[in-house]
Amino acid sequence: MREAMFIKKNADKWNKYQHSPTNNPDETAERFVNLIDDLSYAKTFYPKSKVTRWINGIAAGIYQSIYQNKKEKYSRIFTFWKYELPLLFKRYHRIFLFTTVLFVLFVAIGVFSSKQNPDFVRGVLGDGYVNMTEENIDNGDPFGVYKDGNPFSMFVYIAFNNIKVAFLAFIGGFTLGFFTIFIMWSNGIMLGSFQYMFFAKGLGIKSVMVIWIHGTLEISAIVISATAGFVLAAGILFPGTHSRMVSFKRNAKDAAKILISLVPVFIVAAFFESYVTHLMSQTYDKANNAGLPVWASVVILSASAAFIIWYFIILPIRLHRKGYYIQPDGIINRLKAEDA
């Protein structure tokens, strides 16, 4: 039987098995047996075909539903972080690249505009904040703002605010990405102006050592949350071979997973800003108070950057090259060497 005829004869059945699960154990067993028969035939006559992988994925999903136990339910969390999320992110690497380039462009505009017009910084950050920062610099305590307030209160406020910004970038996808772009624009311009203010005062490297302790994770997470917003928008604008509603639902589910995964990142970033940056800022005050050593700042900053690059860029590519992929029903599978 030709492959096209084989697919035409069984496609409706496979779609039903995949998208319409049953709780009837007898019917589940019957479906599994039928799939094993189809899989054996496909592996015999079409061993390298995509349809063989499709059938194998459906059969694997039914197998897991039959033999699942409580231990496997707990391992689902481990599987999500180790395989599902990186593989999911690999699917949207191009959108992530677009988002990153766009954000860097907005930051560059903020730097350039601040350099051309000194009043631009005040227009973005506000007179009150700029005056306070300049006063701290004159007093030999350039990062004094990070010493103010109760660390725990700062932690709660910062974590909540960062998650709110990420959520706004995500729901911006419902506006076809226009509101997401606005969120990126406002944060990018603010970051560029903010950094230029310190570099213009000769405190550029010191500001990196203090501010980017938490900023590495915080800014990266904002870019990734904006990526989730664009993923959502892409589901509406570019449905591909799916109906627009199916495409939207699939991308919305993927975008939500990406967004939820960032919550721990924002919490760690808030902890760094509230406690670690608080200590690091003491290293550069006028009285030369004992704060966090510079080498510790370098370690934290480097480790944060390495984590983002490894988990969201390198690991997804490595898993993909090893043959791991996600079935439409969420099952993680791996191609065998002879099928690759």
pTM across the whole model: 0.74
Q: Measuring CA to CA, which residue among 308, 108, 88 is closest to residue 220?
A: 308
Query: What residues form DSSP beta bridges with 333?
Result: 325
* Interval 178-206: pLDDT, tens: 999 999 999 999 999 999 999 998 888 88
pLDDT of residue 303: 95
pLDDT higher than 70, residue 272: yes
Q: For the chain, what are the domain ranges?
A: 3-68, 85-325
In angstroms, the CA 87 to CA 172 distance is 24
pLDDT of residue 69: 45
* Interval 3-16: pLDDT, tens: 888 888 888 888 88
Helices within 80-177 (DSSP H only): 85-91, 93-116, 119-125, 127-138, 151-171
Average pLDDT for 317-334:
74
